[in-house]
Amino acid sequence: SQQGEEDPQALSIQEGENATMNCSYKTSINNLQWYRQNSGRGLVHLILIRSNEREKHSGRLRVTLDTSKKSSSLLITASRAADTASYFCATDEEYSSASKIIFGSGTRLSIRP
């Protein structure tokens, strides 16, 4: 079974609203990353949060990590039409090779104008 699973699978909101996506994982991790993918394109790294961090900000993005619940959330504030994309969390397992990270199924975000 996959390590990270995003929730919801799809989200549609009005431009200007905030979007929240969640990710749950199963094993202990070193860090958790969020990526964005525009339709049919490659993934772009957004933000990384280490296992000893609880919250991190980058522009309109806010990521939280709760290692006791094995979950993370990505908040996009004041959404824009250009934020329409799929968002993936990715985790690497503690003690595993640094080269192996596992992606979830993604949340497809649509911003209505």
Partner 1 sequence: ETGVTQTPRHLVMGMTNKKSLKCEQHLGHNAMYWYKQSAKKPLELMFVYSLEERVENNSVPSRFSPECPNSSHLFLHLHTLQPEDSALYLCASSQEQRGGYNEQFFGPGTRLTVL
Rounded to 5°, the CA angle 31-62-38 comes to: 85
Cα–Cα distance between 81 and 14 in angstroms, integer? Answer: 9
- Per rule CB under 8 A, is residue 33 in the interface with partner 1? yes
Identity at 103, one-letter amino acid code: F
- Per rule CB under 8 A, is residue 50 in the interface with partner 1? yes
Cα–Cα distance between 107 and 32 in angstroms, integer? Answer: 16
Q: What is the per-residue binding string for partner 1 in 78-107, x denoting contact by CB under 8 A?
A: ----------x-x-x----xxxxxxxxxx-
Question: Least distance in Å: CB of 1 to partner 1?
Answer: 10
Residues in contact with partner 1 by CB under 8 A are: 2, 30-31, 33, 40-45, 48, 50, 88, 90, 92, 97-106
